[in-house]
Amino acid sequence: MINYQLLTQCPIFMGITENEVEDLFKKIHFQIKSFSKDEIVVVAGEPVLNLNIVLSGSVRGEMIDYSGKIIKIEDIEAPKPLATAFLFGKENKFPVTVTANNDVKILTMPVSEFLKLLQLSSQILKNYLNSISSRAQFLSQKLHFLSFKTIRGKVAHYLLQQAGEKFHSVELKNTQQQLADLFGVTRPSLARVFGEMQKEGLISINNKTVTLLDKKALNELINNA
Amino acid sequence: MINYQLLTQCPIFMGITENEVEDLFKKIHFQIKSFSKDEIVVVAGEPVLNLNIVLSGSVRGEMIDYSGKIIKIEDIEAPKPLATAFLFGKENKFPVTVTANNDVKILTMPVSEFLKLLQLSSQILKNYLNSISSRAQFLSQKLHFLSFKTIRGKVAHYLLQQAGEKFHSVELKNTQQQLADLFGVTRPSLARVFGEMQKEGLISINNKTVTLLDKKALNELINNA
DNA sequence: AGGAAGATGTATCAATTGTTACAAAACAAT
DNA sequence: ATTGTTTTGTAACAATTGATACATCTTCCT
C-alpha cells in the first residue's frame, strides 16, 4: 500500500490533497520496488526512463571517478524524487549511481505515465515546471557570477542587481556563507572584500543592510572584471 | 491571420501538423501585437507573464549595464519564442530588454493559456520539457567545468575527458592560447601548469600530443579542486 | 635554406584568493 | 539575563594566478 499522505509532501505533489493524489494514481501505471541496504538502484550513465520517488528509507547518489574512487554526492530521503532534472532533454542519463542506504521502497513509473500525470493535473504540471525552471535559472545565475573574475566584481554585480536602478541600499537575505557559495569563493575572502569596499567608501554595511555609496565606482569594478 | 504553417517550425510546435496547431489555437486565448522598428517589446526585469512568439520580423535581446552601456545579447527571428526558460520558476523575469529590429508581429498568450496547451497536447508538452531540460543540462555541464577552481583541476578534467577511459594520450587540437581562453586563464599560467605537471610525471608533452602517465593522480587533482 | 610570424617555455614580481584560526557580534531559546 | 549557537569581522601566512618580458622552438612561406 502507498502512503498517499506522505506523497503529498513530495515537491511534485505539493498543494494536492491526499484524495486527489489517490485518484490520480488510479489512472496510471506504476510499480513499487524494494531494495535492501547497499543494493544499487540505478547506475550512472543509464538512461532515465522512469520517474523514481523514494517512499521509505533513503538512498545516496555517488559518482565514480576515472580511477574508480567513489565520491558521495548527496542523500535523498523519502518522499523525494530522483533525478527529476534528467527525465527529459538530450542528455537524460543518470548523473550519479544511486545506492540504498537502508531498506528502501521506491515508486517507479515510466516517463510516459508521468506525462499523463502532468496532463491530468495542472498543479503537478506547475510544480514540475517550476522545479526544473528554478533549477535552470539558478544555474544560469551561478554561471553569470562565475564569469566575473574577481570577488569585487561579483560583489559589485550582485549588489547593483539587487538594488536595481532606483534604490541605494540592499537588504541581504542570505548569510555570507550562502553568498560565498553562490560566488564560488570562501567565506573569509568574501568578508574581506566587503570590509575593503567599506573602507574605500564604496559601500556601508549595517547589520544586513548594505548601502551603495558610489554606484559609479561599483560599475567600473564590473567592467574591469 | 496567423500563418500556422510557420508556427509548426517553432520549436514548441515541432512535430505537430498545421491543422492540429490550428485546432489547438481555437481552444485558447491569445493576442497578436505589432511593434515597429526600435520599439521596446519588453523591459529587462519585467515578470514573464506571457509566452511570446515572434511571428514575423526579428527582435534583439539587449542588456543595459549599470553605466548605461547597451550590450547586444542575441537576435531572435520568426518563428522563435522569447524567454521560454523564464515562463516558470522563482525568478521568472526577463533577463534582457527586447527591442524590435524591424516591423514585428508577436503572438502573446498568458502563461495560464500556455499551460492549457501543454495539457492538451502531449507533443507540445514533450517539446517544452525537452527544451528546458536540455538547457538545464547544458548549463549544468558547463558549470561543472568551471567549478574546478585550480588550473590544474581544469587541465586534468579536460585531458581525462578528451582521452576517455581507454586511451592514454590526447592530441591537442587547440593552441595553448585557445585553451587558456576556454579555461578563463592567461596563457603563461596554463603553460606553467603544463610544465609543472610534466615535471611531476603526471603527463608528458610532445608537440601537440599529451600522454597521460598517471591517470589516478590526475583524478585526485579533480577531486581536490 | 633563410627569415618572419606565431606558438611555447620560463622567469620574476605583484595581486588576489585560499586556509586557518580566533574574537566579536548577533541571534535564539530558555 | 544567560547560555549556547550561528554569523560576522579580522589577521597572518601560504598558494595560486596574473602581468610582463624575453628566449626558444615551430611552422610556413618564398
Q: Identify nearest nucleotide to residue B177 by CA to C1′ distance.
A: C7
Residue A44 CA to chain centroid, in angstroms? 19
* B68 — pLDDT class (breaks 50, 70, 90): low
Residue range A86-93: mean pLDDT, rounded: 90
A30-52: pLDDT as tens digits: 999 999 999 999 998 899 999 99
Given this model, what pLDDT does residue B66 score?
A: 56
Q: Which residues face A54 on adjacent strands?
A: A106
Give the bases of strand D that a protein CB approaches within 7 Å. 6-12, 16-21, 26-27
At B171 the pLDDT is 87
Query: pLDDT value at position B109?
Result: 96
For B100, phi and psi rounded to 5 degrees?
-75, 130
- φ, ψ dihedrals at A4, nearest 5°: -70, -30
The pLDDT value recorded for residue A59 is 93
Q: Return the exposure string of B188-209: e unless at least 16 CB atoms fall within 10 Å of the residue's CB, then b.
A: eebeebbeebeeeebbeeeeee
Q: What is the pLDDT of residue B105?
A: 94
Residue A186 belongs to what H/E stretch?
none
> Angle at Cα A101 formed by Cα A96 and Cα A103, nearest 5°?
125
For residues A178 and A142, the answer to whether their CB atoms sit within 8 Å is no
> What pLDDT is stored for residue A225 in this prediction?
53
0.85 surpassed by pTM = no
- A-B contacts at Cβ under 8 angstroms: 130
Helices (H) and strands (E) in chain A, counts: 8, 11
Q: Considering only CB atoms, which chain A residues are within 8 Å of B45?
A: 164
> What is the structure's pLDDT at A148?
82
Would the pLDDT of B65 be above 80? Answer: no
Mean pLDDT within B23-29? 94
The per-residue pLDDT of chain B, averaged, comes to 88
Cβ contact A71:A113 at 8 Å:
no
Residues of A in contact with B137 (CB under 8 A): 85-86, 89-92
pLDDT, position B145: 72
Please tell me the distance in Å from A160's CA to the nearest CA on chain B: 8
With CA of B190 and C1' of each nucleotide, the nearest comes out as D17
Residue A64 pLDDT > 80: no
User: Strands, DSSP E only, in B85-165?
Assistant: 97-100, 104-110
pLDDT the model gives residue A3: 84
User: Of A89-103, B37-51, B61-75, which gets the smallest average pLDDT?
Assistant: B61-75
What is residue B150's predicted lDDT score, i.e. its pLDDT?
A: 87
Rounded to whole angstroms, how far apart are CA atoms A200 and A77? 47
> What confidence tens digit (pLDDT) does each residue in B116-153 have?
999 999 999 999 999 999 988 888 877 777 778 789 99
Q: How far apart are CA A112 and CA B122, in angstroms?
A: 10
How big is chain A, counted in residues?
225
What confidence tens digit (pLDDT) does each residue in B142-151 have?
Answer: 777 777 878 9
**A126 contacts chain B (CB < 8 A):** yes
pLDDT single digits (tens) A125-170: 999 999 999 988 888 887 777 778 889 999 998 998 888 777 888 8
CB contact under 8 A, A89 and B133: yes
Beta bridge partners of B222: none
* Lowest mean pLDDT segment, chosen from A59-68, B80-89, B178-187: A59-68
Kindly indicate the confidence band of residue B183, based on its pLDDT and cuts at 50, 70 and 90. confident
Give residue A184's pLDDT band: very low, low, confident or very high (50, 70, 90): confident
Inform me whether the pLDDT recorded for A118 exceeds 70: yes
Q: What is the pLDDT of residue A224?
A: 59
**Does the pLDDT of residue B161 top 90, yes or no?**
no
Span A62-86, average pLDDT: 78
pLDDT for the residue numbered A111: 95
pLDDT of B15 = 93
Task: Give the DSSP H or E segment for A203.
Answer: strand A203-206
pLDDT score of B67 more than 70: no
Q: How far is B56 from chain A (nearest CA, A)?
A: 27
Q: Which of B54, B60, B55 is nearest to B39 (CA)?
A: B60
